[in-house]
Amino acid sequence: MSNLNPTLKTAMRLSPVIPVLVIDRTEDAVPLARALVDGGLKVLEITLRTPNAIEVIQEIARNVEGAVVAAGTVTTPAQWEAAARAGATFMVSPGLTPALIAAAAEASTPLLPGVATASELMIAMDGGFECFKFFPAQQAGGTAMLKALGGPFADALFCPTGGITVETAPQFLALPNVACVGGSWLAPASLVKAGDWDAIRALAQAASQLKAA
């Protein structure tokens, strides 16, 4: 069982890529997470897009040594509370609402809120946030947008997610305001269905070695 509970900034810098995972079968959760962690990717974002997502978070948090489990696609305080009870060490949201800002003030687990525009970033910073998910990264302007935001908002630290690939990740990692990227390519559905954990471990090892372009 992992007892890791890093700060949000520390978690974002543990590895260059955070796998963004949609896990349909609970029995795949532990072997998939172990393959990714063994490959060098310690932080795992489990999206709340499946009915079993809370159970998946609990299984990984309890059984995968070294994993830092995040809950993704958190859109309500109720989801936040359930994910925290299951063992998630931080939350990731695609956007930010007044309800989530209020929840953040009371919660013991931090939130990585999603932003896509300067106005959304200003609202989030007013709410006390310093670290952000830039989402959807490619559709919202990619590296050019992040460079533009870096001028007036030099203190903001980003994890761009959405449409990023192993080929384009180094371009994002080269930016001074990017700590890591979120990637969905680490756990292809075909490999998960086949239980090919060695192949997934190899993908994780390659991602863990990504450098700034």
The predicted model gives 126-138 an average pLDDT of 97
What are the structural domains, with CATH classification, of the chain? Answer: 8-208 (3.20.20.70)
- pLDDT at position 212, please? 83
**CA 63 to chain CA centroid, nearest Å:** 20
Residue 205 predicted with pLDDT over 70: yes
Longest dimension (CA), the chain: 47
Locate 5 and state its tokens: 């509970």
| pLDDT tens-digit map of 174-192 | 999 999 999 999 999 999 9
CA distance 107 to 170: 33
The predicted model gives 156-175 an average pLDDT of 97
Locate 8 and state its tokens: 């949000």
- pLDDT at position 3, please? 35
Name 213's Cβ contacts closer than 8 Å, sequence gap at least 6: 170, 171, 173, 174
- Kindly report the average pLDDT of the chain as a whole number: 95
- pLDDT at position 5, please? 57
Catalytic member of 9, 27, 42, 45: 45
CA distance 39 to 203: 8
Is 193 among the residues known to form the active site?
A: no
CA distance 64 to 36: 10
Catalytic member of 133, 147, 167, 211: 133
CA distance 41 to 67: 8
**Alpha helices, DSSP H only, in the chain?**
8-12, 29-38, 53-63, 77-86, 98-106, 118-126, 142-150, 169-173, 189-194, 197-208
DSSP type of residue 157: E
Count CB-CB contacts under 10 A for residue 128. 9
CA distance 80 to 103: 8
Residue 13 predicted with pLDDT over 90: yes
Is 59 among the residues known to form the active site?
A: no
2 or 98: which leads in pLDDT? 98
Strand partners, 132: 158
| pTM confidence score | 0.95
Q: Kindly tell me the number of DSSP H helices and DSSP E strands found in the chain.
A: 10, 9
- pLDDT at position 57, please? 98
The predicted model gives 157-186 an average pLDDT of 97
The predicted model gives 108-114 an average pLDDT of 96
- CB burial of 177-200 (b: ≥16 within 10 Å; e: otherwise) equals bbbbbbbbebbeeebbeeeebeeb
What distances in angstroms separate CA 153 from CA 123, 126, 135, 149, 186, one per listed residue? 12, 12, 17, 6, 31
